[in-house]
Amino acid sequence: MSTPASDQLLGQTIDGRYRIDSRLARGGMATVYRAADLRLDRPVAVKVLHAHLAEGRGFIDRFRREARAAARLVHPGIVAVHDQGTWGEAPYLVMELVDGPNLRTVMLSHGLPAVGQALDFMAEALSALAAAHNAGLIHRDIKPENILISSTGQVKVADFGLARAVSEVTAASSGIVLGTVAYLSPELVAEGQADQRADVYAAGVVLFELLTGTQPFIGDQPIQVAFQHVHAAFPAPSSRVPWLPQEIDSLVGALTAKDPARRPPDATAALALVKAVRAALPEDVASRAALVGLDQPADSELDDAAVPVPASPEVPAPGSKPRSESNPEPGSEPGPRAPLDRGLGQSSPRLPGLGPTGLSDPGMSAPGPSQGSPQGSPRPPDPETATRGPLGASAGPDSPGSPTTTKAPTAGPSRSRGGGIGQGNPGADQTEMVPTSGHGTGGTTAMPLARILPPAPLSPPPPPTHPRRPRRRLIIWLLVVLALAVAGVGTAYWYFGFGPGSLIAVPNLAGETRQVAEDRLRGLELGSDFELRDSDDVAEGLVIESDPPPSERVKAGTVVNLVVSAGIRMVTIPAEGVVGVDVGLAEAALTEARLDGPVTRELVYDTTVAEGLVLSVEPEGGQSVPHNQAIKLVVSKGPEPIEAPKLTGLTLADAQAAGAEWELTVIQDGEAYSETVAEGLIISQTPNEAEGTYRGRQVTVVVSLGMPFVEVPALRFKTWEQAVAALDAVGLKADQTGVPILGIVQRSDPEAGTSVRKGSTVTVVLV
């Protein structure tokens, strides 16, 4: 079967289960449809790989890896993956359908969120990423399009299509870097290698965009944006929105540090940093949003493309033109960065570790100088003052509400002037302002791995007109060194005494005994407490989990609550209310006793217990068993139906012996004369042998008294022939004796009127 086109899938049913109803979106790798799960009667999202990618084994493996990675993650903030398969030649995923927009749609339809809400969005997204990082997975494609907002306000991270085990993350075997260029970390672009800190970097870019409405780096081609991520200084948010406080600059700078070692190590640490900044943010700042014009990125549906990364640092911008510094952009307003309380009526308290100079933690760097000069600056900034703003942000950002722009590298003369990207070069007249729509940076891109070389060093500054004396220069250098030393000592004191360096990572204690776990926490200067919890999987006495969870960084002295296994929960089987009652009542009694294991019924015939009543329970009542122990109820089916045995013609004793084999009780229910059945034998039975009965029932019989009695008729003075006829009429036989001279009966023996058994012989005496 050939791969179905996207339009041809509408109305079809995939694998007899998922009916495609409508198309939701088309991305660089796949098309997402709204579908109905006919088996479970629920709406789902079905993601089908594009036909032109299904032919490549590498893309198919990546697509299937998405399912395996995402299916391992269980978190309310992660879009769940339900199923995967292949339709024709195209692999597909079946995912949870989130009834809400993504962050990109929210920004375009409602404008930028308030600062506090932006931090809240990012905190929820980082919480979901933390679950993935703790499971050993990274996302590698964090962007507004992959952060969804459900109708209930739940933030959900989608599309783990680039995720893989951290130990397997490398592009050396494939030579391909996959991701959305606008959010790729420098190490992923330059080396093709990344860990959890690449997701932290992308989250910082998304936060920058939520706060300012623009991406930090833009260009006409993805390669230009990738180059800037590697070599250009990351701009401070306040360079685009002047009233943003220094704490926000420091936070974004920490998340987007060029050196991965200077970023938070994973999403858990980044989440703690975002929460700390959010808690310290004044309400008037938290409730304020930047008013800027937003454009839909031009490549929101850009297909995957192979983009060559050159070995040369010169990356020309197609169609770029030199801009004369004497012709600034209209409406620009140069000026220094606005302080926090500008127009707000109050100033923001400083968060420890996020001071005017940014994060002092060596693992969380502040951003460097923002690239280029302010929009419409009438003259190039002085090289020595271009980075004087807090966190190295250059002065003179765009005015709020105006279309934000940034500079892209140009070809030709700018290179000779030392105009490297993001260097703060005073040669501003050799760069061009590029619109913020982010052309070529919004879609997933496949980029051949190639190291992006650093730009050539800046041209040496011209020699001073009046050379300074060596002694004076030496004094200045000594003062600089002394100042740096004092700053370094102060920074180290703050970092290890009060800042992030004073925090302790909670160890993973799952599976340890309580004593070992408490000893480990004590060695880390952490307190401990514990609670017992039943567990079917963890042996008694071992730690199940801890709160705070592993890897969360806490202050010394923090009490870590240990959840210790009490073993499997034991329950006593009820001794009463189970045996001898209806099976439904017995099962209810087991449930009430909190026995939740499987309950089976064994039906047996029983002659004494009515049908449907419980005969016995296994294990027996009164025993203590695990709560999930399998229970068997032996239930009566009543007496067994059998055919009645033939008892007629037997003596009563023989009939009782024959009935005992079938547990039948044989009793005599009267006697009767019988001309056919001998005395003492059974004449009849109830039920008879032609009828059915049940094992253990009663059978009644009638015993024969033998031949009935009759009276000898009067025969005197009768002839022989008359005597014979009279005896025969009552069932008697005649026997002749005497001398029959006259042929008349003189008398009979027995005499007339005597009772004799029918069939007896009467002797007739003739004369």
How far is the C-alpha of 687 from the C-alpha of 642, rounded, in Å? 12
Q: Where are the beta strands (DSSP E) in 61-171?
A: 81-87, 90-96, 137-138, 147-149, 155-157, 164-165
How far is the C-alpha of 279 from the C-alpha of 112, rounded, in Å? 20
Q: Which residues contact 145 (CB under 8 A, 6 or more apart)?
A: 27, 102, 103, 104, 300, 442
How far is the C-alpha of 264 from the C-alpha of 256, rounded, in Å? 9
Q: Return the structure tokens found at 203.
A: 């989250």
How far is the C-alpha of 154 from the C-alpha of 174, rounded, in Å? 37
- Annotated catalytic residue 304: no
How far is the C-alpha of 765 from the C-alpha of 749, rounded, in Å? 8
How far is the C-alpha of 701 from the C-alpha of 719, rounded, in Å? 46
Q: Which residues contact 645 (CB under 8 A, 6 or more apart)?
A: 658, 659, 661, 662, 664, 689
How far is the C-alpha of 745 from the C-alpha of 723, rounded, in Å? 8
Q: How many CB atoms lie within 10 A of CB 155?
A: 21
How far apart, in Å, are the Cα atoms of 78 and each of 95, 179, 184, 354? Answer: 11, 19, 21, 30
Task: Name the DSSP letter for residue 307.
Answer: -
Q: Is 658 helix (H, G, I), strand (E, B) or coil?
A: helix
The strand pairing partners of 706, in sequence order, are 673
Buried-exposed string 450-459: b where 16+ CB fall within 10 A, e elsewhere: bebeebeebe
Q: Which of 141, 199, 361, 398 is catalytic?
A: 141
Contact 212, 111 (CB under 8 A): no
What is the per-residue DSSP string for 110-141? H-PPPHHHHHHHHHHHHHHHHHHHHTTEE-S-
Cis-peptide into 308, omega within 30 deg: no
Q: Where are the beta strands (DSSP E) in 726-760?
A: 733-738, 745-749, 755-757
Question: Environment class of residue 372 by beta-carbon count within 10 Å: exposed (0-12), middle (13-18) or buried (19+)?
Answer: buried
Amino acid in position 436:
T
Q: Return the structure tokens found at 16.
A: 């007899």
Amino acid in position 326:
S
Among 197, 201, 74, residue whose Cα is nearest residue 128:
74
Q: Checking DSSP bridges between strand 631-636 and strand 599-604, what pairing results, if any?
A: parallel
Among 148, 206, 157, 149, residue whose Cα is nearest residue 180:
206
Q: Is 733 helix (H, G, I), strand (E, B) or coil?
A: strand
Q: Is 243 helix (H, G, I), strand (E, B) or coil?
A: coil
Q: How many CA atoms lie within 13 A of 750 on its CB side?
A: 13
Contact 292, 247 (CB under 8 A): no
Q: Where are the beta strands (DSSP E) in 549-640?
A: 553-554, 559-565, 570-572, 599-604, 614-618, 624-626, 631-636
Q: Return the structure tokens found at 437.
A: 């729509």
CA 480 from centroid of its chain's CA atoms: 56
Among 376, 397, 394, 378, residue whose Cα is nearest residue 386:
394
Active site residue ranges: 141
